[in-house]
């Protein structure tokens, strides 16, 4: 629905564009951003595109104190014909509203959000990089802005979309990561906010991430918060394992994020006739399978990396290697197919892409 009126105030001068080859993820933002406000009784109002720049909030703004906020992450991809497309944006927009519901944030009009994303990306289209495997990362988010430190849901909000060009995630080639099973901290519990994309879950995950990095690992394998034995996610990605002939991934039980990349992996695997199972898997079962040689492949899935193969896992005094520390054939096929659809070099038989 392009009938929604979005006011556009163009930047007076355009910034120089960074070289995607040396660009650090998420550090350089485009010329414009999208803003919209909410007030109880008035609803969402004043959708607008303005020059990218600072926003002003009271120090008492609720988001600073009680973390009432949600966000999303998706990408715009430059096709060989020069056009730009999005990958399953409706899934992100619907998920953002599910996150909003959990955090008592009023829902957004889904057509309006897609129109806002498309309009903003069109406005800054020259920022969508053209080098292979590069993209424009899109970060929509909502923050609670009431200037009051009483604990309740805010009556005012700001919805914002910012975008930044990102380089190839695998500029040095796909190197499988070493991960470590975290059995002290947990990121989420059922009944908490694990299924919502909200900053609080990330704040809870930082300490384990830092510890993992200090010990030479790149990600944390999260266990469930109650029994401390079921696998949940890896870092801020979903996780999938190929154990003998079956691909296994933890079920969406409330503490796990319903990843668009996870869902796309499952859709493709089922389409290929690969047996898949969304079921509980204990860390014991996983390491036993690996030690017996039954764990053939393991990978994380998320928008930033698409697919991140796991080469080594450590838990207590046990360390196992997966597929000899190299990417497995099914992992590679998923990566090639997904990235092919995203950059428009492979046929999109599922209707996942949306042209900007």
Ligand X SMILES: *Cc1c(COP(=O)(O)O)cnc(C)c1O
> Can you tell me the distance from the alpha carbon of 10 to that of 32, in angstroms, rounded to the nearest whole number?
7
Of positions 160, 161, 248, 260, contacts ligand X by CB under 6 A = 260
CB of 105 to ligand X, least distance (A): 17
Identify the bridge partners of residue 163 per DSSP, sorted by sequence position: 138
Contact call for residue 140 and ligand X (CB under 6 A): no
Q: Looking at 15-23, 76-84, 240-248, 296-304, which segment touches ligand X (CB under 6 A)?
A: 296-304
Q: Is 78 or 197 the residue whose CB approaches ligand X more closely?
A: 197
Contact call for residue 257 and ligand X (CB under 6 A): yes
Of positions 51, 73, 192, 254, contacts ligand X by CB under 6 A = 73
Name the pairing type of β-strands 276-278 and 353-355.
unpaired
Closest CA relative to residue 236, chosen from 214, 254, 211, 262: 262
Q: Which stretches of 226-284 are assigned E, i.e. beta strand?
A: 231-234, 238-243, 246-249, 276-278
> Can you tell me the distance from the alpha carbon of 283 to that of 78, in angstroms, rounded to the nearest whole number?
40
Contact call for residue 138 and ligand X (CB under 6 A): no
Of positions 20, 259, 309, 344, contacts ligand X by CB under 6 A = 259
The two structure tokens encoding residue 137:
């990362």
To the nearest 10°, report the CA torsion of 171, 176, 181, 182.
0
Q: Is 17 or 333 the residue whose CB approaches ligand X more closely?
A: 333
Q: Looking at 9-17, 254-262, 316-324, 343-351, which segment touches ligand X (CB under 6 A)?
A: 254-262
Q: Is 69 or 233 the residue whose CB approaches ligand X more closely?
A: 233
Q: Is 16 or 351 the residue whose CB approaches ligand X more closely?
A: 351
* Interface with ligand X: number of residues (CB under 6 A): 14
Q: Which of residues 92-111 bind ligand X (CB under 6 A)?
A: none
Closest CA relative to residue 51, chosen from 162, 136, 143, 125: 162
- Letters for 207-246 (x = contact with ligand X by CB under 6 A, - = none) are --------------------------x--xxx--------
The two structure tokens encoding residue 344:
């428009």
Q: Looking at 75-83, 162-170, 239-247, 298-306, which segment touches ligand X (CB under 6 A)?
A: 298-306
Name the pairing type of β-strands 306-315 and 177-182.
parallel
Of positions 75, 197, 242, 323, contacts ligand X by CB under 6 A = 197
Of positions 68, 145, 261, 308, contacts ligand X by CB under 6 A = 261
Closest CA relative to residue 335, chosen from 346, 324, 350: 346
Q: Which stretches of 17-104 are assigned E, i.e. beta strand?
A: 32-39, 43-51, 69-71, 74-78, 84-87
Q: Is 61 or 237 the residue whose CB approaches ligand X more closely?
A: 237
Residue length of the chain: 356
- Letters for 299-318 (x = contact with ligand X by CB under 6 A, - = none) are --xxx---------------
Q: Is 188 or 295 the residue whose CB approaches ligand X more closely?
A: 188
Three-state DSSP class for residue 263: helix
Three-state DSSP class for residue 353: strand
CB of 281 to ligand X, least distance (A): 17
Q: Is 33 or 266 the residue whose CB approaches ligand X more closely?
A: 266
Q: Please count the other Cβ atoms lying within 10 Å of the Cβ belonging to residue 354.
A: 15
Residue 300's alpha-carbon distances to 292, 306, 309, 333, in angstroms, are 22, 8, 6, 14
Q: Which of residues 321-340 bind ligand X (CB under 6 A)?
A: none
CB of 67 to ligand X, least distance (A): 15
The two structure tokens encoding residue 236:
């801020």
**Where does this chain bind ligand X (CB under 6 A)?**
73, 197, 233, 236-238, 257, 259-262, 301-303
């Amino acid at each position: 629905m392009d009938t929604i009126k979005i006011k556009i105030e163009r930047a007076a001068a355009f910034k120089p564009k960074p070289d995607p080859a040396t660009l650090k993820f998420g550090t350089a933002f485009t010329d414009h951003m999208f803003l919209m406000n909410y007030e109880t009784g008035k609803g969402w109002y004043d959708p607008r595109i303005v020059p990218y720049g600072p926003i002003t909030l009271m120090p008492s703004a609720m988001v600073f104190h009680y973390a009432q906020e949600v966000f999303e992450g998706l990408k715009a991809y430059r096709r060989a014909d020069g056009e730009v497309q999005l990958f399953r944006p409706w899934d992100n927009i619907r998920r953002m509203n599910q996150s909003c519901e959990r955090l008592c944030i009023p829902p957004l009009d889904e057509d309006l959000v897609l129109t806002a994303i498309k309009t903003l990306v069109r406005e800054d289209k020259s920022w969508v990089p053209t080098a292979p495997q590069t993209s424009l990362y899109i970060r929509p988010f909502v923050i609670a802005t009431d200037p009051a430190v009483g604990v309740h849901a805010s009556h005012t909000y700001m919805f914002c979309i910012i975008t930044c060009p990102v380089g190839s995630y695998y500029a040095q080639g796909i190197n499988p990561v070493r991960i470590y099973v975290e059995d002290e901290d947990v990121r989420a519990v059922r009944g908490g906010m694990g299924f919502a994309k909200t900053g609080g879950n990330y704040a809870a995950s930082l300490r384990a991430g830092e510890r993992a990095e200090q010990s030479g690992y790149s990600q944390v394998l999260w266990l469930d918060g109650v029994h401390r034995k079921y696998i949940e996610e890896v870092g801020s990605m979903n996780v999938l394992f190929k154990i003998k002939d079956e691909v296994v991934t933890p079920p969406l039980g409330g503490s796990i994020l319903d990843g668009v990349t996870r869902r796309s992996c499952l859709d493709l695997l089922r389409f290929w006739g690969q047996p898949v199972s969304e079921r509980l898997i204990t860390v014991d079962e996983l390491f036993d399978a690996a030690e017996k040689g039954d764990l053939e492949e393991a990978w994380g899935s998320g928008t930033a990396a698409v697919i991140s193969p796991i080469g080594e896992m450590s838990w207590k005094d046990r360390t196992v290697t997966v597929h000899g520390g190299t990417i497995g054939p099914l992992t590679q096929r998923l990566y090639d197919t997904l990235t092919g659809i995203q950059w428009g070099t492979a046929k999109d038989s599922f209707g996942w892409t949306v042209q900007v």
